[in-house]
Amino acid sequence: MAYVFPSIVGVPQAVTDPLCVPMSFSLGGWPGFPITHCLLVGVSGTTQGNYQFLLTPRNFTYVYVFGEKMGDFVVSGLAMAGEYSLGCGYSGPHGMSKAIEYYNTYAISITGTPVVITLAGWAAWAFLVKASFTAMNPRSTIGQFKFHLKTITQ
């Protein structure tokens, strides 16, 4: 598997040694950079217990625990233009169209089923519930996207 990082704005380089990447992340169904012209550059998430505290007039505290709430995860990425050749400009679809295509394929409203996300060996089922797309820098043909996911406990 190749890990891709930008060294110059709009021009990615592949690092093929997995030891150079200290923490792995994968998004179910994501085909990778060579097909999408997109880099997954960040992931953030929150999880929380589902609980209730009851404080009584006699100074007793009762704690009720109901498992875990659904977690919130955001996957962010950069979308780039297609292949570049000198004298011909860019060819092929822009990466943003592939990010939009991914959302339109795996959104909860389309499939009703979760995708699997993994972060540093931890895996969870997640529903793709929202996406945002932004044109960041038209001069360098780079755009930004975010996928918002809801994780379920397993």
User: Residue 126's pLDDT is what?
Assistant: 94
User: Residue 90's pLDDT is what?
Assistant: 58
In the chain, the number of structural domains is: 1
H helix or E strand, kind and range, residue 77: strand 71-79
Instruction: Evaluate if pTM is beyond 0.85.
Output: no
Cβ 82 vs Cβ 38: under 8 Å? no
User: Residue 154's pLDDT is what?
Assistant: 64
Within-domain flag for 145: yes
Within-domain flag for 66: yes
Within-domain flag for 7: no
Cβ 46 vs Cβ 72: under 8 Å? yes
Amino acid letter, 11:
V
Q: How long, in residues, is the chain?
A: 154
Q: Domain range spanning residue 56?
A: 23-152
Q: What is the CATH number of the domain that holds 132?
A: 2.40.30.200
> pLDDT 10s digit of each residue in the chain, 154 long?
444 444 555 555 556 666 665 567 888 888 887 777 888 888 898 989 999 999 999 999 999 999 889 999 999 998 887 665 445 555 567 888 889 999 999 999 999 999 998 888 788 899 999 999 988 766 777 889 999 999 987 6
Within-domain flag for 80: yes
Give the single-character DSSP code of 29: T
Burial class (CB in 10 A: 0-12, 13-18, 19+), 147: buried
